[in-house]
């Protein structure tokens, strides 16, 4: 061990490294590139991971949606193909029967599933937009971003069936002049005047979300479109620590029993489970992370092998020098240690520079993508253990690969080395 910390040892190593600068630099670049790729890839994968995480932060990760379809199995005297209709009352049944459900919000919508969207106008401008009937609790299931000065639908809106609405960004653009203040103004939705109470930011959390739509209180929607107790679909959030797939099955089971549908009729109610989708996306991200680790490590390995290769050539070139050294009293151990240390040293230098460069590139990417919400890339960091692990691997590989030229160096007898011209 003393050997490693001996200043003389390093002087010998620097001496022989300095001897062939170009070759040393090119060799170092091999490993440097490897570690750079490793850091950049893994960091980017992590950034993507974080990006997805962030993209999903607006929606409860264990939320799901359920809607009614047609039955596919005859049951209790009903023919197959009966069109089912969700009712507001189903919500309380589900909430009561399934304790894992934290929030459940009935939703109504027109303009998404083939029905006509609302004709909306303001002064001379008009357009057709999807109209949603919301309960305030919906904002607990998927976070809704309302721009400054505005608000989401609240309990009073529901109780009094107020004619208030929240409009989308595109709706704002199309119905209002530039820089015009929307909150407090009135728009005409299907011939009824609504006061705008907020403008929402477009956050795609479900496949039906759009940038141009109009949100009104559920109760108002009921009156406006005469939908009675009908519900288009339910948004349901389970508690954080429960298995949302199980909750999803239970919800469908409850719906089937309340709507007198055959218990095995899988097609009577449709559902989509964001937890599952989230899991799949994160699985994909994990796959990418794993892949980048493998690719990075493989690149490092290739670089280290390059170092070993160069050292092998270098040993060949230095046969005579090594012979002289041994004639002067260098033991095989000293010769071997010197070459291994050279290998490890080159690997380490390359590694450290590579890590710094990789970190630099990651920080540049981070700066460039900071303000871009559509690009799922946030805070691309690499956990310290990964970095230390990479360095450790490099030291080990450097040693192992250094063993080959080192062994070769001592396997040549000093006399043969000296004889070589």
Partner 1 sequence: MIEIKDLHKSYKMGSNSLHVLKGINFKAEEGELVAIMGSSGSGKSTLLNILGMLDVADEGEYILDGVPIKDLNETKAANYRNKFLGFIFQSFNLINYKNALENVALPLYYQRMPRKARQEKALKYLELVGLKDWAHHLPSELSGGQKQRVAIARAMAAEPKVVLADELTGALDSVTSYEVMDLVQKINDQGNTILVVTHEDDIAHMCKRIIHLKDGVIEKDEKVKQVRASEYV
User: Under the rule (CB under 8 A), what is the footprint of partner 1?
Assistant: 7-8, 11-12, 15-16, 18-19, 320-321, 323-334, 410, 413-415, 418, 421
- What DSSP designation does 84 have? P
Lookup: tokens for 51: 């990006």
Q: How far is the CB of 306 from partner 1 (least distance, A)?
A: 23
Q: Which is nearer to partner 1, 144 or 326 (CB)?
A: 326
Q: Which is nearer to partner 1, 371 or 421 (CB)?
A: 421
Q: Are 259 and 69 in contact (CB under 8 A)?
A: no
Q: Which is nearer to partner 1, 256 or 326 (CB)?
A: 326
Q: Which is nearer to partner 1, 89 or 327 (CB)?
A: 327
Q: How far is the CB of 303 from partner 1 (least distance, A)?
A: 25
The secondary structure of 113-174 as a DSSP string is SSSPPEEEEETTEEEEEEEEEE-TTHHHHB---B-TT-----HHHHHHT--EEEEEHHHHHH
Q: How far is the CB of 421 from partner 1 (least distance, A)?
A: 8
* Three-state secondary structure of 299-350: HHHHHHHHHHHHHHHHHHHCHHHHHHHHHCCCCHHHHHHHHHHHHHHHHHHH
Beta-bridge partners for 107 = 233
Closest CA to 307 of 23, 38, 40, 39: 23
Q: Which is nearer to partner 1, 241 or 421 (CB)?
A: 421
Lookup: tokens for 169: 């960004």
Q: How far is the CB of 414 from partner 1 (least distance, A)?
A: 5
Q: How far is the CB of 322 from partner 1 (least distance, A)?
A: 10
Beta-bridge partners for 269 = 68
Q: Which is nearer to partner 1, 19 or 70 (CB)?
A: 19
Q: How far is the CB of 27 from partner 1 (least distance, A)?
A: 17
């Amino acid at each position: 061990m003393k050997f490693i910390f001996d200043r003389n040892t390093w002087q010998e190593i620097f001496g022989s490294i300095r001897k062939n600068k170009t070759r040393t630099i090119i060799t170092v670049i091999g490993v440097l590139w490897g570690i750079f790729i490793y850091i950049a890839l893994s960091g980017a994968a992590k950034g993507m991971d974080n990006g997805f995480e962030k993209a999903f932060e607006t929606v409860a990760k264990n939320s799901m949606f359920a809607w009614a379809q047609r039955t596919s199995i005859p049951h209790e005297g009903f023919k197959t193909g009966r069109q089912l209709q969700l009712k507001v009352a189903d919500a309380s049944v589900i909430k009561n029967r399934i304790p894992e459900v934290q929030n459940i919000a009935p939703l109504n919508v027109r303009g998404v599933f083939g029905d006509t969207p609302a004709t909306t106008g303001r002064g001379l401008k008009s357009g057709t937009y999807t109209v949603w009937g919301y309960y305030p609790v919906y904002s607990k299931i998927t976070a809704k971003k309302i721009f400054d000065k505005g608000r989401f639908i609240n309990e009073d809106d529901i109780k009094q069936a107020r004619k208030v609405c929240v409009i989308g960004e595109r709706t704002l653009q199309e119905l209002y002049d530039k820089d015009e203040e929307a909150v407090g103004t009135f728009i005409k939705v299907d011939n009824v005047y609504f006061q705008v109470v907020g403008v929402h930011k477009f956050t795609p959390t479900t496949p039906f979300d759009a940038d141009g739509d109009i949100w009104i209180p559920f109760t108002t929607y009921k009156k406006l479109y005469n939908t009675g107790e009908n519900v288009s679909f339910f948004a349901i959030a389970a508690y954080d620590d429960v298995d949302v797939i199980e909750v999803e099955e239970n919800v469908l089971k409850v719906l089937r029993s309340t709507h007198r549908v055959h218990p095995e009729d899988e097609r009577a109610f449709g559902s989509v489970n964001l937890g599952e989708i989230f899991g799949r996306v994160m699985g994909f991200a994990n796959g990418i992370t794993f892949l980048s680790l493998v690719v990075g490590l493989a690149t490092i390995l290739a670089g280290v092998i390059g170092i070993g290769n160069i050292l092998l050539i270098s040993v060949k070139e230095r046969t005579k020098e090594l012979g002289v050294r041994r004639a002067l009293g260098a033991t095989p151990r000293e010769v071997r240690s010197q070459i291994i240390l050279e290998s490890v040293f080159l690997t380490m230098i390359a590694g450290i520079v590579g890590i710094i460069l990789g970190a630099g590139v990651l920080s540049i990417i981070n700066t460039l993508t900071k303000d871009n919400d559509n690009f799922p890339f946030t805070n691309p960091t690499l956990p310290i253990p990964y970095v230390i692990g990479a360095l450790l691997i490099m030291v080990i590989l450097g040693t192992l690969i250094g063993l080959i030229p080192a062994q070769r160096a001592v396997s040549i007898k000093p006399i043969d080395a000296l004889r070589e011209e």
